[in-house]
Structure 1
Amino acid sequence: MKRLYAIAYDIPDDNRRVKMANLLKSYGERVQLSVFECYLDEELLNDLRTRARKVLDLSQDALRIYPVSGEVQILGVGRVYELEAFGLA
């Protein structure tokens, strides 16, 4: 079953930051400059982690993957998802 994840990164190097943004675009939607929302099953999540490790310099960069609970609220502009479809409502 797919689950919603908020994925954020802090990458000081421009080249790696662009690579990470492009990688995450292939899994979900950008909602802020360094934050993406992705609907992933376990296989896709593991694939994303594997590919992200190849981009990151773990001595300088940070990538955080947060599973989003059913308590999510979306306020303001932006795309609103059908949370029921992912067991979140």
Structure 2
Amino acid sequence: MGKRLYAIAYDIPDDTRRVKLANLLKSYGERVQLSVFECYLDEGLLRELEAKAKRLLNLSEDALRVYPVQGAVRVLGAGPLVREMPFAVV
């Protein structure tokens, strides 16, 4: 199976963990909102990202949600439409 688009959102109260997670997500996709990224991932990259995220998060306080996006994304207002990158920067 090829890559698909995921919306990844987080809510992390600790500044240090939040910055580390944002930096991790930047290596897999594009920030589209303050705590939301859009990433084109195949199954292997998704598992890799989730494993790395688990090592950064405090699972009793932090929340990370991964939503597979079905269909086309509509953007109303500012912000570019995220396009699939031919490669992943890891």
What TM-score do the two structures reach when normalised by structure 1?
0.87
Letter in 2 for 1:14: D
Distance 1:59 1:43, change over 3 A: same
State percent identity of aligned pairs: 70
Q: Which runs of 4+ in 1 moved over 6 A?
A: none
Letter in 2 for 1:9: Y
1:36 match = 37
- Cα RMSD, aligned residues only: 1.4
What TM-score do the two structures reach when normalised by structure 2?
0.86
1:24 has 2:16 as partner: no
Cα drift, residue 82 of structure 1: 5.3
8 A contact 2:12–2:63 mirrored in 1? yes
Structure 2 residue runs without a partner (length 5+): 85-90
> Which structure: greater helix fraction?
1
SS of 1:66's equivalent in the other structure is strand
What is the count of residue pairs matched by the alignment? 83
